[in-house]
Amino acid sequence: LAKTTQPISMDSYEGQEVNITCSHNNIATNDYITWYQQFPSQGPRFIIQGYKTKVTNEVASLFIPADRKSSTLSLPRVSLSDTAVYYCLVGYNNAGNMLTFGGGTRLMVKP
Amino acid sequence: DTGVSQNPRHKITKRGQNVTFRCDPISEHNRLYWYRQTLGQGPEFLTYFQNEAQLEKSRLLSDRFSAERPKGSFSTLEIQRTEQGDSAMYLCASSLLETGSTDTQYFGPGTRLTVL
């Protein structure tokens, strides 16, 4: 499975847009990119998944350049409740996907 | 609430005791996964089932760990002769594998184990 690299932590303020970038230089042709959010003492929550270009849902947007060696999770107008750890993962799901989590990015949203 | 439930939510036990955790996946999901998460780390894969078949178990941490999914619905994870190092959050996830899907995993709230 492709290894991912993301910042250990980020700070932001309420109302700002937050962009978290993940590097995955060894991504394979069949790999998808998936982001999860985790609050303390809870299980990870699926946020968004994409293969190429841009994906948007009610929570976030995911930007993937043409070479797919990185991706950026964009959270519009964050609030205090967006304070969490965000994990970027890549893998080929239908092959029997054991998700490999890295350390994630700890986002702190300040008032 | 993702629809994946885990019981108990918290378990405190003494070293050397056996513990069993239960996971109920989203009802139509055919895949079920177990992960362990220690403080400050991301979840670590342990094992997974497709229906009742355990397709990967080489990542179970030792032979004290075992998992079952006898009827392809709920699953149990058992730890025998617990050690203090087993203290962690144990997470269950489920997914629906079907043609053309990306097999997205949905996690339960976890069971926090404390071994005294």
CB B97 within 8 A of CB B50: yes
pLDDT given for residue B69 in this prediction: 95
> A65: pLDDT confidence band, cut at 50, 70 and 90?
very high
CA dist A49 and A54 (Å) reads 10
What single string gives the DSSP state of each residue in B19-44?
EEEEEE--TT--EEEEEEE-TTS--E
Task: Name the residue among A89, A72, A88, A69 with its Cα closest to residue A26.
Answer: A69
Strand duo B111-115 + B10-13: pairing: parallel
Which residues in B lie closer than 8 A to residue A99 (C-beta atoms)? 33, 35, 43, 45, 93, 105
Mean pLDDT in consecutive groups of 10 residues from the start of chain B, 116 residues = 92 98 94 93 91 85 93 94 97 85 86 97
Question: Which alpha helices (H) appear in chain A, and where do they start and end?
Answer: none
Min Cα–Cα distance to chain B from A14, Å: 25
Instruction: Please give the residue that has the higher pLDDT: either B57 or A61.
Output: A61
Is A49 in contact with B102 (Cβ distance < 8 A)?
A: yes
Strand B53-56 to A9-13 pairing: unpaired
